[in-house]
Amino acid sequence: MLRIIRYSFADLIRSRWLYFYTGFYLVLTGALFLISADLSKVIVSLMNAILFIVPLVALLFGVMVQYNTREFTELLLAQPIPRRSIFLGQYLGIATALAISFLLGAGIPFILSGIFLSGEIWNFSILLLSGILLSYIFSALGYLLALINDNRIRGFGLAILVWLLLAVVYDGLFLLGLAWFSDYPLENVAIGVTVFNPIDLARILILLKLDVSALMGYTGAVFNKFLGTSLGMGLALTILVVWAVLPVSMIRYISLRKDF
Amino acid sequence: MRRITCLILFISFLWTDVVSGTKLHVGAGQPFATIQAAMDEARSGDQVIVHPGLYRECPVVVNKSITLTGYGMPVLDALGEKEGIIIEADSVTIEGFEIRNTGYSYIEDRAGIRIKRTKAFTIRNNRLILTFFGIYLEHAKSGRVINNAILGKPLAEANSGNGIHLWYCKDIDIVGNLIRGHRDGIYFEFATQSRVRRNISEQNLRYGLHFMFSNDDIYTGNTFRDNGAGVAVMFSSRIHMLNNLFHLNWGQAAYGLLLKEIYDAEIRENVFQKNTVGIFTEGSNRIHYKDNDFLNNGWAVKVAGACEKNDFIRNNFIGNSFDFAAVGNMETNRIEENFWGDYSGYDLDKNGIGDIPYRPIKLFNYVVDQTPETIILMRSLLVEILNFSEKVSPVLTPAEVSDAMPNMHRYIR
Amino acid sequence: MIHLHHIHKSFGRLEVLRGVDLAFDRPGITAVLGPNGSGKSTLLKSILGMVLPDQGEIHFNGKPIDNLGQYRKDISYLPQIARFPENLRVRELIRMIESFRSQPSQSAELIHQFGLESVLDSQLGHLSGGTRQKVNLVLTLMYDTPVIILDEPTAGLDPVAMVKLKELIIQAREDGKILLITTHIMSLVEELADRVVFLLEGRIYFDGKPDELKQRVDEPNLEKAIANLLSGGHLTPIQPLDASSKPIKKMNGNVVQPQLKY
């Protein structure tokens, strides 16, 4: 499987799209630094971009690579290699390439700015960690969507739909729900609902580093316990990892049953 | 003998301005075994010097104008049921003692040092450990409380006392004290024309500094950290608040500075950093908020209503989750020339002032006010979209809360 | 060597294989023929484990095939469409496949024979269709395996490469290998095939020597024989449609006339 990861990775890092992606983050982060010399402000702006773009790009990449390597996959399937190695290897190759691409694009300007000498290093680390986890989660979802749908237009369409759903619609319904039932105690529900959306989870994870005081203050005991202690951060991280594992095990399940 | 004493007295008058008169030494191997014995002998202007040791003679009642000096921190132990020192005469100085263990009481406000209806006192360089109330001033005038450490162990609000407690006082200086672990660090009730400078008040259950019905006071250069609320100013007028640091006051009802029904105050050059709410103000009029830094607070400023004719000028608002929240009519208030970290306008004429006004209240503020749980959606894409659309065509956010001349650059102080 | 027992496969509503029994035991070249959509590729892919049958069993060397695919080290497979990761170079692709199979490879020899030296450092995305097919052939034929499966090997090949391919195929037969080939070029079948399996709508209609097929429909020319087979008259599968009934033991060289309920 390591070989498959390596080749899938080697194939991707030569892709123009990936350079474009890295370049995009370089330009974005660099521009943010030009506009504002304030590290923490750059981190906040970058956070919005990461929560917005990483899932979308990872989804589309997952779908695209799965479709583009169909024939190549067939070539591999004819080799004496276990099926699961082929698919998990390909997925891990994509996800790792994306994660590294993101890491370089967002990281280099920060390193140049002297982040290691500043107190923002932890905020920055958690930001990068979230971006990496999101890369893994959403490229798995994209790969899975493409694996299930042989129709490419449908696959890409579903990927965009999933993104819209998790990035905006979910929160919209969430907000309406909270407003509608605002007479009831909703703290547990709110945390519960957040857990089911990896984008929200990643956001909370970053929020815990950036805005704790606001959250601490205004909300009730459950939020305080969840958001104010390391329990919240540990839990959010754990569930994010579960989120990454879940679609991967789905990929494995489907790949063992699919015809080519 | 008498003549010699007179001579010494005379010379002392010439050479010192604080200590005059005879020195009476207390302690093991000294002329006096107990403080009380020395004080019985002492006359106005004498100095009673207490050498190191543990003294169990609380309460020590000082009813003559003397100086009571501890050498090498002698300990007055109140054994859990008495007050430490009670001052009943004018012009008394207490310095260099450790006073501890007054015990707690629900019936009386037991104090480490109590100043009763006197004036011209100095309390300095003492350490008060586990006293119910630390230094208790009632009907006191023109005195100084300097460089004391008052360290309590907070239990609950009901059975904690205040670190430094002023009740009907005037012209008091409270300087350089460290107060920790009380109900209110420093408490002013009917205390006027007094000054609170360079103190550190932290980890108190309720407020770091609390004004009730107290006018014409000034506090400056203090640090208020990790209290229920940093400073609460209530029902008071003409309080000047300058150059203080309000830091890390976190919690459900935690504020850096809480203002309630106060008038004509001045709040200048303070730093509010990482508080749940930087300033919470309600029913307070004619307040000047100038040249303050609001950094990384949950809310920088929260105006709860019935606030008129206040000025918010030349403040820095940087890295706050919410810069401003306001309930009620804000029309008579002035918000100008502040620097807003979130300002995204431009300055084409290069005069350092943004060309489009900044509106610090965002739509999401309203949503959170209605349903606090929605705060979990903060900084989500949805919320950014909502805020943006509200910014483009404001419907819910009040037009009068707006800085028409936002500064383009952070004020460096 | 390879035994297919009553293989059924549907893609959705479409039944692609409807009870196929086949055995490949003896060395030689078998041409799997049939019109488009008759199930040729599906049949070959199910041997490789790429298509998983709904019913039936496939044994390779006496063992049922599995998902781990170790048995595939004895098979070389040429897929119908040669598309590779576009950003890889030819050399890397070959090295990669070699790294997956720790078997001795004759890639250098084949690269020379197909004249691919000049494109070794090109990215696969920049190659023409014919060149890609050559790369495809190199990847397939570089191992000495007892079974070789070629799905439309001639697609896009120039005449020189075609001659080369034929030589290689004949060589393989002489080496005692089992070859399964699908193609639309009947002259190739006539020239090479020792056995013809004719598939239509997922069932086997003929399994025997090319000459026997020609005799059966009374046509001297294989192409016409096939056309004749398709056009009616002789259309009867040699195996029953009903999956529950026992498969009829197939006898090489005979078109069995089954008692069929259509």
Question: Quick check: A37 and A114 in contact, CB under 8 A?
Answer: no
Residue B400 has which token pair?
């009068």
The torsion angle over the Cα atoms of residues B259, B264, B267 and B273, rounded to 10 degrees, is: 10
pLDDT tier for residue B369 given thresholds of 50, 70 and 90: confident
As a whole number of angstroms, the distance between CA B266 and CA B238 comes to 7
Best mutation target among A19, A72, A253, A254 (most C Cβ atoms within 10 Å) is A72
Residue in chain B nearest A203 by alpha carbon = B380
Question: Quick check: B65 and B91 in contact, CB under 8 A?
Answer: yes
Query: Taking CB atoms and an 8 Å limit, are B251 and A216 in contact across chains?
Result: yes
As a whole number of angstroms, the distance between CA B105 and CA B57 comes to 19
Measured between beta carbons, the chain A residues lying within 8 angstroms of B321 are 211, 213-214
Give the per-residue pLDDT at A219: 60
Residue A250 has which token pair?
């789905």
Nearest in space to B226 (alpha carbons), one of B274, B165, B269: B274
pLDDT at A58 over 80: yes
Return the percentage of chain B with pLDDT > 90, whole number. Answer: 66
Give the per-residue pLDDT at A218: 61
Residues of C with CB under 8 A from a CB of A: 9, 11, 45, 48-52, 67-73, 75, 77, 79, 81-88, 92, 96-97, 99-101, 123, 139
Return the percentage of chain A with pLDDT > 70, whole number. Answer: 92
Helix (H) or strand (E) holding C113: helix C107-113
Give the per-residue pLDDT at C245: 40
Give the per-residue pLDDT at C243: 43
Burial of C72 (0-12, 13-18, 19+ CB in 10 A): buried
Residue in chain B nearest A225 by alpha carbon = B251
Give the per-residue pLDDT at A220: 59
Residues of A with CB under 8 A from a CB of C: 3, 7-8, 10-12, 14-15, 68-72, 74-84, 256-260
pLDDT tier for residue B399 given thresholds of 50, 70 and 90: confident
What digits encode the pLDDT tens for the residues B184-193? 999 999 999 9
Residue in chain B nearest A204 by alpha carbon = B376
Chains C and B touch, contact meaning at least 3 pairs of CB atoms under 8 angstroms apart: no
Measured between beta carbons, the chain A residues lying within 8 angstroms of B382 are 168, 171-172, 175
Residue C205 has which token pair?
């209609």
Nearest in space to C78 (alpha carbons), one of C29, C160, C157, C138: C138
Question: Quick check: B2 and B22 in contact, CB under 8 A?
Answer: no
B354 domain residue, yes or no: yes
As a whole number of angstroms, the distance between CA A65 and CA A67 comes to 5
Question: What are the angstrom distances between the C-alpha of C239 and each of A201, C54, C231?
Answer: 59, 18, 19
Q: Which CATH number characterizes residue B319's domain?
A: 2.160.20.10
Give the per-residue pLDDT at C235: 63
Q: Nearest C-alpha of chain A: how many angstroms from B385?
A: 9
Cα A174 versus chain centre, distance: 20
Give the per-residue pLDDT at B235: 96
Integer-rounded Cα radius of gyration of chain A: 19
Query: Is B385 strand, coil or helix?
Result: helix
User: Which single residue is written with the structure tokens 């080496």?
Assistant: C175
Give the per-residue pLDDT at B93: 96
Question: What are the angstrom distances between the C-alpha of C199 and each of A147, B163, B230, C237?
Answer: 29, 98, 87, 9
Backbone phi and psi for residue B356, each to the nearest 5 degrees, phi listed first = -120, 145
Residue in chain A nearest C12 by alpha carbon = A259
Query: Taking CB atoms and an 8 Å limit, are A15 and C50 in contact across chains?
Result: no
Number of structural domains found in chain B: 1
As a whole number of angstroms, the distance between CA C19 and CA C57 comes to 11
Give the per-residue pLDDT at C186: 86
Backbone phi and psi for residue A93, each to the nearest 5 degrees, phi listed first = -60, -50
**Best-predicted range by mean pLDDT among A34-38, A115-119, B138-142?**
B138-142
Burial of B61 (0-12, 13-18, 19+ CB in 10 A): middle
Please tell me which residue, C99 or C257, carries the higher pLDDT value.
C99
Mean pLDDT of A30-42: 77
Please tell me which residue, A136 or C262, carries the higher pLDDT value.
A136
Query: Taking CB atoms and an 8 Å limit, are A218 and B298 in contact across chains?
Result: yes
Across chain B, what does the average pLDDT equal? 90
Q: Nearest C-alpha of chain A: how many angstroms from B375?
A: 7
Question: Quick check: B316 and B295 in contact, CB under 8 A?
Answer: yes
As a whole number of angstroms, the distance between CA A95 and CA B133 comes to 63
Q: Nearest C-alpha of chain A: how many angstroms from B187?
A: 24
Give the per-residue pLDDT at C256: 39
Query: Taking CB atoms and an 8 Å limit, are B374 and A179 in contact across chains?
Result: yes
pLDDT tier for residue C247 given thresholds of 50, 70 and 90: very low
B397 domain residue, yes or no: no
As a whole number of angstroms, the distance between CA B104 and CA B303 comes to 38
Question: What are the angstrom distances between the C-alpha of A1 and each of A85, A167, A242, C71, C167?
Answer: 5, 33, 22, 18, 36
B346 domain residue, yes or no: yes
Mean pLDDT check: name the lowest of B80-94, C95-109, C168-182, C221-235: C221-235
Q: Nearest C-alpha of chain A: how many angstroms from C133?
A: 13
Q: Hey, which residues does B301 pair with through a beta bridge?
A: B279, B324
Give the per-residue pLDDT at B14: 46
Integer-rounded Cα radius of gyration of chain B: 26
As a whole number of angstroms, the distance between CA C16 and CA C108 comes to 39
B365 domain residue, yes or no: yes
B220 domain residue, yes or no: yes
User: Which single residue is written with the structure tokens 């990872």?
Assistant: A58
> How many Cβ contacts (< 8 angstroms) between chains A and C?
81
Neighbours of chain B (3+ CB pairs under 8 A): A
Helix (H) or strand (E) holding B41: helix B35-41
Measured between beta carbons, the chain A residues lying within 8 angstroms of B319 are 38, 40-41, 44
Q: Which of C11, C52, C82 sits opposite A257 (nearest CB)?
A: C52
Q: Which of A74, A80, A256 sits opposite C79 (nearest CB)?
A: A74
Give the per-residue pLDDT at A216: 60
What digits encode the pLDDT tens for the residues B1-21? 555 555 555 544 444 444 458
How far apart, in Å, do the first and last CA atoms of chain C sit?
Answer: 33
Query: Is B262 strand, coil or helix?
Result: coil
- DSSP annotation string for C230-257: HTSSS---SS-S-TTSPPPPP-TT----
Query: Taking CB atoms and an 8 Å limit, are A213 and B250 in contact across chains?
Result: yes
pLDDT tier for residue A173 given thresholds of 50, 70 and 90: very high
Give the per-residue pLDDT at C154: 85
Q: Nearest C-alpha of chain A: how many angstroms from C107?
A: 16
B409 domain residue, yes or no: no
pLDDT at C234 over 90: no
Nearest in space to B377 (alpha carbons), one of A185, A199, A217: A199
How far apart, in Å, do the first and last CA atoms of chain A sit?
Answer: 20
- B377 — contact with chain A (CB < 8 Å)? yes
Cβ of A89: how many Cβ atoms within 10 Å?
22
Measured between beta carbons, the chain A residues lying within 8 angstroms of C51 are 259-260
Spell out the CATH class of C2-230. Answer: alpha beta
pLDDT at C257 over 70: no
Q: Nearest C-alpha of chain C: how many angstroms from A52?
A: 28
Residue C51 has which token pair?
């298509």
B235 domain residue, yes or no: yes
pLDDT tier for residue C242 given thresholds of 50, 70 and 90: very low
Give the per-residue pLDDT at A169: 94
Give the per-residue pLDDT at C248: 40
Nearest in space to B238 (alpha carbons), one of B207, B214, B270: B214
Residue in chain C nearest A81 by alpha carbon = C69
HSE-CB at C79 with a 13 A cutoff on CA atoms is 22
Neighbours of chain C (3+ CB pairs under 8 A): A
Mean pLDDT of B392-400: 78
As a whole number of angstroms, the distance between CA A186 and CA A174 comes to 11
As a whole number of angstroms, the distance between CA A55 and CA A133 comes to 10
Mean pLDDT check: name the lowest of B82-91, B121-130, B310-319, C36-45: C36-45
Nearest in space to B173 (alpha carbons), one of B208, B112, B131, B220: B220
Query: Is B140 strand, coil or helix?
Result: coil
Q: Which of A14, A82, A259 sits opposite C51 (nearest CB)?
A: A259
Question: Quick check: B376 and A194 in contact, CB under 8 A?
Answer: yes
Measured between beta carbons, the chain C residues lying within 8 angstroms of A256 are 67
Sign of CA dihedral B365, B361, A209, A124: positive
pLDDT tier for residue A212 given thresholds of 50, 70 and 90: low
Please tell me which residue, C127 or A223, carries the higher pLDDT value.
C127
Measured between beta carbons, the chain B residues lying within 8 angstroms of A223 are 373, 375-376
Across chain C, what does the average pLDDT equal? 82
B327 domain residue, yes or no: yes
In the 8-state DSSP scheme, what is residue C79? -
ipTM given for this complex: 0.83
Query: Taking CB atoms and an 8 Å limit, are A41 and B385 in contact across chains?
Result: no
Q: Hey, which residues does C105 pair with through a beta bridge?
A: C143
Query: Is B364 strand, coil or helix?
Result: helix
Give the per-residue pLDDT at B46: 94
Across chain A, what does the average pLDDT equal? 85
pLDDT tier for residue B257 given thresholds of 50, 70 and 90: very high
**Best-predicted range by mean pLDDT among A86-100, A180-194, B230-244?**
B230-244
Nearest in space to B280 (alpha carbons), one of A246, C138, A217, A13: A217
**Best-predicted range by mean pLDDT among B153-157, B185-189, C51-55?**
B185-189
Mean pLDDT of C1-27: 89
pLDDT at B154 over 80: no
Nearest in space to B161 (alpha carbons), one of B202, B199, B104, B114: B104
Which 3-state string (H, E, C) describes chain A?
A: CHHHHHHHHHHHCCCHHHHHHHHHHHHHHHHHHHHCCCHHHHHHHHHHHHHHHHHHHHHHHHHHHHHHCHHHHHHHHCCCCCHHHHHHHHHHHHHHHHHHHHHHHHHHHHHHCCHHHCCCHHHHHHHHHHHHHHHHHHHHHHHHHHHHCCCHHHHHHHHHHHHHHHHHHHHHHHHHHHHHCCCCCCHHHHHHHHHCCHHHHHHHHHHHHHCHHHHHHHCCHHHHHHHHCHHHHHHHHHHHHHHHHHHHHHHHHHHCCCCC
As a whole number of angstroms, the distance between CA B309 and CA B316 comes to 20
Please tell me which residue, C181 or B3, carries the higher pLDDT value.
C181
Residue in chain A nearest C9 by alpha carbon = A259
Backbone phi and psi for residue B27, each to the nearest 5 degrees, phi listed first = 145, 180
Give the per-residue pLDDT at B7: 54
Give the per-residue pLDDT at C190: 87
Residue B150 has which token pair?
């008052």
Query: Taking CB atoms and an 8 Å limit, are C50 and A256 in contact across chains?
Result: no
